[in-house]
Amino acid sequence: MKKVVVITGGSRGIGAATSKLLAAKGFAVCVNYKSNKAQAESVVNDICDRGGKAFPFQADVSIESDVIALFEAVKNTYGSVTHLVNNAGILFQQASISKISVERFNKILTTNITSCFLCCREALKYMNEGAAIVNVSSAASRSGSPFEYIDYAASKGAIDTLTKGLSIEVASMGIRVNGVRPGFIYTDMHADGGEANRVDRLSPQIPLQRGGTPDEVANAILWLLSDEASYVTGSFIDLAGGK
């Protein structure tokens, strides 16, 4: 089966590591990004330099028309999408509930969960038996992230629920839907929360005593997308060092 994957937010952090790993394993990769074109092109160039296939595509995946254009572009470039990684996500400055505006709450929801719904719906128009989706949730869906970002945690809880329900809706079509729940991974995202060294601060509280790497998450995503996980659907891999 020809493998064509869309990785939302594939230009930085976990998405960039996943783009490079999947390309090395023979996937043709659409590296989606929202704003940072240079970073997306850098990931694509790295893949192409190693003999892989990739192209960058700008789309704000919280916007329906952008998502429709994204999957049409993939179809025109590599043929129908066969695999999808819903990875794009954001968080804002750490704050307790009284400091969270409705505008912020809604921005988090549209970027983190409406995007996931839209990409799943559009991808499924092209997918057939053997296709697979991985949604990137978070350990925050279990902890609730009190005093940091309950808006973000709530959006990730919604991803878990969408993953479970959709996995059952499409199971009879031979399409699998799973999730990963990373926690404490070294990426730029923590700076957006106002604490760039958050992972190091929390490391003593993590059973494995360290933060994780984007490559460690990418390996779990690769496995869930692969035929080796052919009997796995509606499942989650926690990547939070035992937390």
Q: Is residue 189 near ligand NAP by the rule CB under 6 A? A: yes
Residue at token pair 């694509």: 44
**Under rule CB under 6 A, residue 187 binds ligand NAP:** yes
Per CB under 6 A, 185 contacts ligand NAP: yes
| Joined tokens for residue 136 | 């990137």
Residue 138 interacts with ligand NAP (CB under 6 A)? yes
* Shortest distance, position 1 Cβ to ligand NAP, whole Å: 26
Looking at 71, 149, 184, 236, which residue binds ligand NAP (CB under 6 A)? 184
Stretch that binds ligand NAP, among 31-39, 77-85, 141-149, 223-231 (CB under 6 A): 31-39
Q: How far is the CB of 59 from ligand NAP (least distance, A)?
A: 6
Q: Which is nearer to ligand NAP, 2 or 37 (CB)?
A: 37
What single-letter amino acid sits at 186? Y
Binding mask 202-241 for ligand NAP (x = CB under 6 A): ----------------------------------------
Residue from the set 32, 141, 145, 233 that interacts with ligand NAP by CB under 6 A = 32
For the stretch 201-215, what's the b/e string if a residue is b when 16 or more beta carbons lie within 10 angstroms of its beta carbon? Answer: ebeeebeeeebbebe
What is the DSSP track for 5-68?
EEETTTTSHHHHHHHHHHHHTT-EEEEEESS-HHHHHHHHHHHHHTT-EEEEEE--TTSHHHHH
Residue with tokens 């779990």: 220
How far is CA 223 from each of CA 135, 180, 202, 217, 218, rounded to the nearest angstrom? 13, 11, 28, 10, 9
Q: Is 152 a catalytic residue?
A: yes
Report in angstroms how near the CB of residue 134 gets to ligand NAP at its nearest: 11
DSSP string over 50-103: TT-EEEEEE--TTSHHHHHHHHHHHHHHHSS--EEEE------S---GGG--HH
CB of 129 to ligand NAP, least distance (A): 28
Based on CB atoms, which residue is closest to ligand NAP, 46 or 130? 46
Residue from 33, 78, 126, 149 that binds ligand NAP (CB under 6 A)?
Answer: 33
Choice from 3, 5, 9, 57 touching ligand NAP (CB under 6 A): 9
For residues 91, 93, 94 and 95, what is the CA-based torsion angle, rounded to 10 degrees? -110
Give the one residue of 3, 4, 15, 82 binding ligand NAP; rule: CB under 6 A.
15
Our CA dihedral for 108, 210, 15, 230, rounded to 10 degrees, sits at -100
Question: Would you tell me which residues interact with ligand NAP (CB under 6 A)?
Answer: 8-9, 11-15, 32-36, 39, 60-62, 87-90, 111, 136, 138, 182-185, 187-189
Residues known to be catalytic:
152
